[in-house]
Amino acid sequence: MSFFGEYFLLVEKALKAVDHSLLEGVVGAIMDTAARGRKIILAGNGGSAAMASHVTVDLTKSAGIRSMNFNEASLLTCLANDYGYENAFEKALGSYGDEGDLLILISSGGQSQNVLNAAKKARELRIGVITFTGFERDNKLRQMGDINLWVDSKSYNVVEMTHHTWLVAIADYIAAKMIRPGH
């Protein structure tokens, strides 16, 4: 089999391995949060930050759900410079997060200190936490969420592609349920 055939099989296997009730749980948590007038906050590093941006736009535009992320360069670099990168998301969450919001944390390995610190801060603020991780089954972040989606792979790109597909599918499902006039 070709490289691409094998690669696509790995991604397909990872995509299909998810318990659909977990995806439905994420949909329910997002919709419940929005129905209470609270917001969805997404965060991650690198490729996971790009996913956070993409899903923020999809939730906001297509589903009409108030959402945000911490990828604005001036904010992120200011907080990292003043408090250390490991504290940047925690500080942003302290400024922008409100009780009852929902935080979606995306991390391939589930070990990034800035993401772990954001999860801890969310607990202090009584903000719900959903995690998307991969690599080790018992990674630190996976142990900190209310709903935890995990990809059984040690390949960054397989984990990231799986997270991205799951997240976009969640946003599309919500958008289909939230059909709004003019959209």
CATH of the domain at 112: 3.40.50.10490
pLDDT tops 90 at residue 160? yes
Residue 183 in any domain: the answer is no
Output the pLDDT for position 78.
96
Residue 163 in any domain: the answer is yes
User: pTM value?
Assistant: 0.95
Classify residue 179 as exposed, middle or buried by CB count within 10 Å of its CB (0-12, 13-18, 19+): exposed
Residue 137 in any domain: the answer is yes
Q: What total number of domains does the chain contain?
A: 1
Residue 103 in any domain: the answer is yes
For the stretch 94-118, pLDDT in tens is: 999 999 999 999 999 999 999 999 9
Residues 6 or more apart from 52 whose CB is under 8 A from it? 42, 43, 44, 69, 70, 71, 104, 106
Residue 49 in any domain: the answer is yes
Output the pLDDT for position 178.
78
Output the pLDDT for position 1.
85
C-alpha to C-alpha distance for 91 and 87, rounded to whole angstroms = 6
Instruction: Sheet with 102-106: list strands edge to edge.
Output: 67-69, 40-44, 102-106, 128-133, 147-150
Output the pLDDT for position 135.
97
Q: Domain range spanning residue 147?
A: 3-177
Output the pLDDT for position 177.
86
Q: Is 125 helix (H, G, I), strand (E, B) or coil?
A: helix
Residue 182 in any domain: the answer is no
pLDDT tops 70 at residue 182? no
